[in-house]
Amino acid sequence: MAMTAPETSTSKPMASAEELRKRALELQLLEMERNDKIKAREAKKHAEFVEDFFRKHIGETERAVIKRLVMKAAADGKYEALIYSFPSTFCTDSGRAINNNLPGWQKTLQGRAKELHELFEEVAKPQGYGLKAMIINFPDGMPGDVGFFLTWEPPVEE
């Protein structure tokens, strides 16, 4: 059967351009609110991390994790393991001394990193381990995170 008149009873009129612009704006506002919530959660998470880094101590849980990392690396035939990382901005010089391998870089450490270095000096170094600190990433060309590598390479004979 052919239709001779436009169908008006069941079809809705097309939305006006103004209504479409309004809807697009509402969607953009919802997206902005969602992004703001995500940023707020990330900021809170970062603030908690900073608080932990500067206030809490290396405990048995962290020591157990380090031991597992070292044992796994040794089982894989490696002579070092990345045991800890933290933002270079947590160093007093933003990681400059570590990035340039300057003597005394240890003095730039703060918080857990400083405590971990002291623990290394006390416990691991007397057992023949070494500790390397290096910048492990460079977001936007700038020093990012510092990595602490516990090493057990055999001594080099000269």
Compute the distance between CA of residue 58 and CA of residue 60 in angstroms, rounded to an integer. Answer: 7
80 plus 144 within the same structural domain:
yes
Model-level pTM? 0.68
51 plus 65 within the same structural domain:
no
**Domain membership flag for residue 7:** no
pLDDT of residue 7: 54
**Domain membership flag for residue 9:** no
List the domain range (segments joined by +) for residue 43. 18-56
49 plus 86 within the same structural domain:
no
Strand partners, 130: 151
Number of independent structural domains in the chain: 2
140 plus 117 within the same structural domain:
yes
104 plus 124 within the same structural domain:
yes
pLDDT of residue 96: 96
pLDDT of residue 8: 53
147 plus 101 within the same structural domain:
yes
Compute the distance between CA of residue 138 and CA of residue 34 in angstroms, rounded to an integer. Answer: 29
- Strand 145-151 and strand 80-87: pairing? antiparallel
Last residue of a domain, one of 34, 56, 78: 56
Q: Is the distance from CB of 82 to CB of 147 less than 8 angstroms? A: yes
Element (H, E) at 82: strand 80-87
| Per-position pLDDT tens, the chain of length 158 | 555 555 555 678 888 889 889 898 999 999 989 988 888 787 777 667 656 666 677 888 988 999 999 999 999 999 999 999 999 999 999 999 999 999 999 999 999 999 999 999 999 999 999 999 999 999 999 999 999 999 999 877 76
